[in-house]
Amino acid sequence: MCGCDGQICIAELSALPHCGKTKCVAQHRGASHKLGLDPDSPFKFLTSGEDAIVFAIDLRQGQPASKVVVTREKEKRVGLHNGTELLASYNDEDIYLFNSSHVDGAQYVKRHKGHRNNATVKGVNFYGPRSEFVMSGSDCGHIFWEKSSCQIVQYMEWDKGGTINCIEAHPYLPVMATSGLDRNAKIWVPTAKVITCLAGLNSVIKRNKQGRDKDRQHHTHLFESHMLWFLMHHLTQRGHCPQ
């Protein structure tokens, strides 16, 4: 279990109405939103938190076996682990693919561009029987990439609002579930009789980039204004200090 207090806990399930004793196996320095199971081992799993650290936990050991620091920026999280790779989704940034066998501070392997992760936290996942694809929510809908080439191969519009926050694939069927700012969730299945047209995708990508650049410029101006106010306030306080 993971939570907003950053604690990663395990509990033994029973037939009783309440769980057995819980045990804390790791502690993030911020909220933890996601954990991924190792498909090849019932003892291992990965957790991610707002401290930008991914813990690799083996329940047979007394402490986390290793950690991966994916970035030192604020507002980030890792979406899912498929056994050998990590997907990292950044606030108002791109999606990065890491190799979990690398040491701390490893460089990313792939970078997937085109979506927008600004208004709310967006889910990101692998898709396909061999994790051939990467899929992500977006402020504009949701987008599929072919993992190795990083090329967008599918784009589907959610609704009038457009925003997709959560996206989960069925473990072995070509079915997925999505949810956004609307009050309902949607189930997607491959029943279309014609191939999806990607017309308009370039305009969406361009609009996403323009929105991101505009927000970054706005935040930079806010930072500069705050620093100017801080310096003026500091100088004013010094001027009133007794000599």
DSSP string, 178-240: EEESSSSEEEE-S--SSPPP-TTHHHHHHHHHHHHHHHHHHHHHHHHHHHHHHHHHHHHHHHT
Give pLDDT tens digits for 45-81.
888 777 777 788 888 877 765 666 555 454 444 444 4
Domain ranges of the chain: 1-112
* CB contact set of 85 (below 8 Å; sequence gap of 6+): 97, 98, 99, 100, 109, 126, 131
Q: What pLDDT is recorded for position 193?
A: 84
Q: Is the pLDDT of residue 200 over 60?
A: yes
Q: Is the pTM of this model over 0.75?
A: no
Fold observed for domain 1-112? Methylamine Dehydrogenase; Chain H (2.130.10)
- The radius of gyration of the chain from alpha carbons, rounded to an integer in Å, stands at 21
pLDDT digits (tens, 9 = 90+) for 14-44: 777 666 677 888 888 888 877 777 777 788 8
